[in-house]
Amino acid sequence: MFRFFENLVDPYTAYSETDAPPRRLWPFLWEYSQPFKGVFALTALMSVIVAVVEVGLIWYMGRVVDLMSTGDPSSVLASHGWELIVAAIFILTLRPLIQGLDVALLNNSILPQFGALIRWRAHRQVLRQSVGWFENDFAGRIANRIMQTPGSAGDAIFQIFDAITFSLAYLVGAAILLADADPRLAIPLLAWFALYGLLLRWTIIRIGPASKASADARSMTTGRVVDSYTNIHSVKLFAHHDREIAYAKEAIEETRQTFAREMRLFTIMDVALTALNGLLIVSVVGWAFWLWSAGAASVGAVAAATALTLRLNAMTGWIMWAVSTLFRSLGVVAEGMETIADPITLTDAADAKPLQMAQGEITFDAVSHHYGRGAGGLDRVTLTIRPGEKLGLVGRSGAGKSTIVKLLLRFYDVEEGRILIDGQDIRRVTQDSLRREIGMVQQDSSLLHRSVRDNILYGRPDATEEQMIAAAKRAEAHEFILTLEDPQGRRGYDAHVGERGVKLSGGQRQRVTLARVILKDAPILVLDEATSALDSEVEAAIQDTLYGVMQGKTVIAIAHRLSTIAQMDRIVVLDAGHVAEEGTHAELLAKGGLYAGFWARQSGGFIGTETEAAE
C-alpha cells in the first residue's frame, strides 16, 4: 500500500533545465511543484472532506443530544436505532479510511518525493554554475542552503494541506452549522474570525522577514564553522583555536539574536490568541445559552455550539502555529533561493557543438581577462601552441599563468579576444566536450572523499581494472596504494582517502591525481606544478613517466621549479599579464632577461620573487 502512494510521483522525472530560474518565491515553488499538481489537487480535496466529516460529526453529536430529549430510551432506540448503528459503522470504518487516504497522500506521496525533487534539481542546478561562482561563496553555506530548502518547502506544503486547507473548510463548516441552528450564533463566530484574521496578518507580515533573517544567520554560521573544519590544518598550524572560536561566536551570537527576535513574535501571538479564544468561548457559548434560555435554541444546538467552540479553541493555536510555520518555512526557502535560483551566466551557446579534436593546436588571440576588476589577469595576450608542442609557462605569482589555464578550461569566459582549439572558438563548443579533451594535474591535488579506485576511475569511468592499475603503476602509486587501510577496514584500492584526500600525504595525493590523468589520456595535457609535492627520488621517476605521457600531446606545464620545464620545446615568460619572453631554455638564458634572472636566483630550482629579479 505504501509503495502505491510513494510511486504516484517520480521525483527524478525529466524536466527542462533553465539558466535563469524564477527569482520570486511563488513562481519558484510553482515551477518545482509541476509534477505534483494532480496529487496536490487530490490532497486539497481530501483535506476539505476530512474537515466536512469532522464538522458533520459535531453536528450529529448535537442531533444525538436532541434525540435523547424526545422521549424515553426505548422509544428513541425504536425510532432511530438503525440510524445510530449506521452512524457508528461510518465512524468506525469510513472515517478512518478517509483520514488514512488524506494522510497517506500527504505523508507518503508528497513529503518524501517533494523534498527529494527539490534537493535533486537544486543540486543539479548548482553544479551547473561556474568555478568562479563557487569561488565567491562558502561551500558550507551553499550545501546548507541545498539541504535546508527542500525540508522547509516540504514543511510549507504540509502546513498548507494539513492545517490551512483543513482549517478553512472547518471554519466555513462551523459557521454554516451554527447558522443552521440559529443564524444569530454565526455573528460572534464571524466577528471573532475577523479579529483572528487581523492577528494572522500581523504575524505573517513580521514572521517572513524574521525567519529569513534567522535562516541567513544560520547559513553564515554554518559557512564559518565548515570553513574552520575544512582548513583545520591551518587552524592548528598557526595556533588560531581562539581566533576561530571568536570568529564562529560572532556568527552564533547573530543567529541567537535573530532567532530571539523571531521568538518574540510567537510569544505576542500566543498571548493575543489566548485572549481572542476567551472572547470566542464567552460570546458563542454565552449567546447559545441565552438563546436556549429564551426558548430559541435546543439543547442539541447549545451542545453543538459548545463542542465547536472548544474544538476551535484547540484548533486556533495549531492553525496560528501552522501559518507561522508556513511563513517561517517560506522565509527559509526564500533564503535558499538566493543560491538555487542564481542565474547561470557561463553557459553553452545555443548552437554549441562538441569540440572536434584534430591536431591539438591552441591559440590565444588578443586575450584579455581581469576578473571584472580592470586589472590583473591577462592583458591582450596572443600565443599559439602548436600541435604536440610542449610549452612551459613561467612567471611570478600573479603574472597570469593560472588565468591562462582557467580560461583554456573555460572556467571563466574571456573578457576580450578569443581562444581557439584547432580553429574552434571554445565559447562555441560545449563545456563538457572541451574539458573531456584536457587532462590536468594541479598543484593542489585534492581528491574526492571516496575510494582510491573511484578517484582514479574519475579520469575514465569505463576503464577496466587492469587499465586503472596500469595507470597507477605508471604514476608510481600502485605500491603505496596496496598498503592503505581506512578506519572501516577497507584496504588497497577500496580504501577511502578522506575529505579532499587528507588521509594521504601530499606526494601520495599527487600520484593518485597523476594516475587519474594518465588514465584519462586526453590529447591536451596541463601540468600545474605537477610534481611539487613529490620528493626528489619519486619526482625523478615521475618525470620519466610524464615525458612518456606527453608524447603525442599538446602540453602546457606551469612550474616555479625551472628544472622541471627546462626540456620543454618552448618556454613562455609571463609578466604582469603580458608575454614578456619566449624561446627555448638555452635561448632565454642567452637573452639575459627575466628568465635568466629567475634561473640565476633559484635556490633548489625555485623562482625568486624578489623585485630585483626583474632587473
- 393-444 per-position pLDDT tens digit: 998 888 888 899 999 999 999 999 999 999 999 999 999 999 999 998 877 7
Q: How far apart are CA 68 and CA 216, in angstroms?
A: 60
Q: Do 185 and 287 form a contact (C-beta atoms < 8 A)?
A: yes
pTM of the predicted structure, to 2 decimals: 0.74
In this prediction, residues 19-37 reach a mean pLDDT of 88
pLDDT at 542: 67
Count of alpha carbons within 13 angstroms of residue 561, beta-carbon side: 16
Dmax over CA atoms of the chain, in Å, equals 123
pLDDT at 455: 92
pLDDT at 609: 43
* Confidence at 534, pLDDT banded by 50, 70, 90: low
pLDDT tens column, 317-371: 677 677 777 777 887 888 788 888 888 888 899 899 999 998 899 999 999 998 8
Angle between helices 241-293 and 299-340 (to 10 degrees): 160
In this prediction, residues 523-549 reach a mean pLDDT of 72
Residue 604 has pLDDT above 60, yes or no: no
Angle at 412 between CA 406 and CA 415, to 5 degrees: 115
* Confidence at 133, pLDDT banded by 50, 70, 90: confident
Using the structure block, give the residue that is written with the C-alpha cell 602509486: 477
Tell me what percent of the residues of the chain surpass a pLDDT of 90. 27
Partnered with residue 394 across adjacent β-strands are 573
In this prediction, residues 136-158 reach a mean pLDDT of 82
In this prediction, residues 439-463 reach a mean pLDDT of 87
Residue 38 has pLDDT above 70, yes or no: yes
In this prediction, residues 533-538 reach a mean pLDDT of 58
pLDDT at 61: 77
Residue 614 has pLDDT above 70, yes or no: no
250-254, 287-291, 307-311, 502-506: range with highest mean pLDDT: 250-254
Partnered with residue 416 across adjacent β-strands are 368
275 or 529: which carries more pLDDT confidence? 275
Provide the grid cell at 239. 595556533
Closest residue by Cα to residue 251 from 196, 214, 199, 206: 214
pLDDT at 507: 78
In this prediction, residues 80-103 reach a mean pLDDT of 88
Residue 42 has pLDDT above 60, yes or no: yes
pLDDT at 420: 96
When the candidates are 1.20.1560.10, 3.40.50.620, 3.50.50.60, 1.10.10.10, the CATH number that belongs to 8-340 is 1.20.1560.10
- Backbone φ, ψ for residue 108 (5° rounding): -110, -35
Sequence-ordered alpha helix ranges (H) in 484-593: 506-520, 536-550, 585-591
480 or 234: which carries more pLDDT confidence? 480
Interacting residues of 134 by C-beta distance below 8 A, sequence separation 6+: 142
- Backbone φ, ψ for residue 490 (5° rounding): -75, 140
